[in-house]
Chains A and B, each alone.
Chain A
Amino acid sequence: MTNSNSPPPCVEIHDLTVSYDKKPVLWNIDVSLPEGELIGVIGPNGAGKSTLIKAVLGLIPADSGWVRVYGEPLARQRRLVGYVPQRESVDWDFPVTVRDVVLMGTYGRLGLLQRPGKTERDLADRCLADVGMADYRNRQISNLSGGQRQRVFLARALAQQSKVYFMDEPFVGVDAATESAIIALLRTMKREGRTVIVVHHDLQTAPDYFDSILMLNMRLVAFGPTAKVFTPELLQKTYGGRLTILTEAAERVAGTRR
């Protein structure tokens, strides 16, 4: 698609098919994500939004296809990629403080036996300040509200100092103040030339928040600038009717693998 002299796209997903519990849930995803944009991933429940992010990050294996980040396989570009998982995926009773969590963002750059030092701690404090959580750095994480936990996760992602970020439902269950703080932060990140891919569930806010939108429902329905793809027809195609034959075929594929 790209001609030889233009730079490689920030994230290129080629013919990616992914199974969850041996059942194909994403079919032949084929898309190139441009650099420096806020990109929303929308689709109904069970459309495979989180699965797409996890497969791109290599957290679950793909059946076929490949992913490149700035023209290279992900394994070589880990440092360029940041990740904000869903909040519920961790145990918030874990005995760590807010700053300990943020410091985990720097672990990718540290070798075995290397411990985070003053540089890392200063960075973590700056990142906490960026999300407005500087005062909480020595708190234990179980004492935080949902919005505060999300901010801690964002601060940890900032501490990764990556160029591309994948965020899984960062706006779910946060208060209005946190939501606007997060979107302000995302816009700052965009101004700094970073690319942010966000799984989003709120169709009301989606067109305001994102430059481009990726519509997903077991397959890529559409990807493009928000103004172009956020149309009733494409939304209907994404959220309306399930592809029952595709689902049945997926069951059969799963049946032969189990």
Chain B
Amino acid sequence: MDFPGVLANATSSQFLSEMARFWSFQDGSVRTSAAAMLLLGVSCGSLGCFVVLRRLSLVGDSLGHAVLPGVCLGFMVTWSKNPLWLFVGATATATIASLLIGTIQRNTRLKPDVAMGLVLSGFFGVGLMLLSLIQNDSRGGQGGLNQFFFGQAAAISANDLMLIAGVTAVIVAGVVVTFKELAVSSFDEGFAASLGLPTRRIHYFLMALTGMAIVISIQAVGVVLLSALLITPAATALLLTDKLPRMVMLSVLFAAFAGIVGLNVSSLSAEVLNGFLDVVLTQVGRSGLELSASRMSTSPPTGPVVVLILAMTFLTALVFSPRYGVATKLFRRCMRVRAARAGMEGASE
């Protein structure tokens, strides 16, 4: 598995230097993006636990898509990617979207997933229309709004980071202060209400925090795959622990880990990644593939890379979790069978 060893020397040294550049955190922009990924891990990782436990996974997905028109409108205020206006626009449409979901659910017999699917696609459709309007305009053509589909963490600016830090502080404070209330109302809403807790308000509070977390994450992971940053780390953590506080910690850890490693991978240059691809493909032995075609022209967007890393951690936990892993269970069953057999043999002797 010693890939760097088989890489062409030139690529290998480039790989090492790029890795060193990233992990030394000497470069200001690397520091900024890495800090942002860490903060996003904290926000999305912690809130994701409650989103998963309350079975609201689709909410993250719909709100994630619903911010696109807001981002476009925010862009149109100054015709530049001013973080504040983008934030205002995204927050506005996310709020409208969540209110609409609630309105549709209250006023029709449609199931929640249908209401969310409607809002998701409707907002995204309008967002795409606005995006083409912007791209048709001479001022918007080079706006780089396309990054918001799949994210480009490297483009996070110092101003963006300030905003992310501020919002994360609000989210952390919110979760810490209401942790007990969030926990009991997520587990048993009826009981929480019988204690006199305002369960509806707690729900909206959680939704508002989640909306904020989504809005600050779009630059880094993009609107399309945003829900994974909420769901996957939390689900991974759920496989590993039986305690809610520990689940939140683990979830934050996984989200931040995937964020930073994903940033690292997507910051590698196209040559290095192509070098890797060549190695992988020759090892796999698919000579039928035209290797010349498997070339990246640019570094990949951050979102998909982060999501894949998250998926890999999830898969690992699913198989090897000490308590609930598939392999662990199989292993235990084997042990039991063997012990039983041994016991029977012992008895027959």
Interface residues of A (CB under 8 A from B): 54, 57-59, 75, 78, 81-83, 85, 89-91, 94-97, 100-101, 104, 107-108, 110, 112-115, 140, 156, 160
Contacts and interface: CB of A to CB of B under 8 A. Distances in A.
B6 to A, nearest CB: 43
Given A85-B194, A96-B243, 4 more contacts: A59-B190, A59-B193, A113-B176, A156-B191
Contacts of B180: 107, 110, 114-115
B193 A58 contact: yes
Interface majority SS (helix, strand, loop, mixed), chain B: helix
Contacts of A54: 190
Contacts of A100: 243-244
A78 B196 contact: yes
Interface residues of B, number: 26
B224 interface: no
Nearest to A93: B238
A91 B56 CA distance: 14
Nearest to A112: B177
Interface in B38-70: 53
Contact of A97 (B186, B192, B193, B243): B243
A108 B178 CA distance: 13
A104 B187 contact: yes
Interface string B177-203: 110110110111011111111000000
Given A95-B243, A112-B178, A113-B177, A83 B191 contact: yes
Contacts of A113: 176-177
B229 interface: no
Interface of B: 53, 176-178, 180-181, 183-184, 186-188, 190-197, 238, 241-244, 246-247
B195 A108 contact: yes
Contacts of A82: 194
Contact of A95 (B177, B181, B247): B247
Contacts of B190: 54, 59, 83, 85, 89
B243 A85 contact: no
13 contacts: A54-B190, A57-B193, A59-B193, A59-B194, A83-B191, A96-B243, A97-B243, A104-B183, A104-B184, A104-B188, A107-B192, A113-B177, A114-B180
Q: Which 3 A-B pairs have the closest CB atoms?
A: A140-B242, A83-B194, A108-B195
B343 to A, nearest CB: 24
A241 to B, nearest CB: 30
Given A107-B180, A115-B180, A96 B244 contact: yes
A83 B192 CA distance: 10
B323 to A, nearest CB: 9
B244 A57 contact: no
Contacts of A81: 194
Contacts of B184: 104, 107
Nearest to B240: A95
A84 to B, nearest CB: 8
A176 to B, nearest CB: 26
Contacts of B194: 57-59, 78, 81-83, 85
B227 to A, nearest CB: 20
Contacts of B186: 94
A59 B242 CA distance: 29
A85 B244 contact: no
Nearest to B199: A59
Contacts of A114: 180
Contact of B187 (A57, A58, A78, A101): A101
A6 to B, nearest CB: 28
A194 B177 CA distance: 34
Which of B176, B191, B192, B242: most chain A Cβ within 10 A?
B191
B196 A108 contact: yes
A84 B231 CA distance: 31
Nearest to B246: A95
Contacts of B246: 95
A61 to B, nearest CB: 11
A89 B183 CA distance: 15
A96 B193 contact: no
A89 B192 CA distance: 12
A190 B167 CA distance: 52
A112 B186 CA distance: 16
Nearest to A138: B242
B187 to A, nearest CB: 5
A84 B85 CA distance: 49
Nearest to B193: A59
Contacts of B193: 57-59
Which of A75, A81, A96: most chain B Cβ within 10 A?
A96
B195 A107 contact: yes
B48 to A, nearest CB: 13
Contacts of B247: 95
A254 B238 CA distance: 42
B187 A90 contact: yes
A112 B197 CA distance: 11
Contacts of A107: 180-181, 184, 192, 195, 197
A246 B244 CA distance: 47
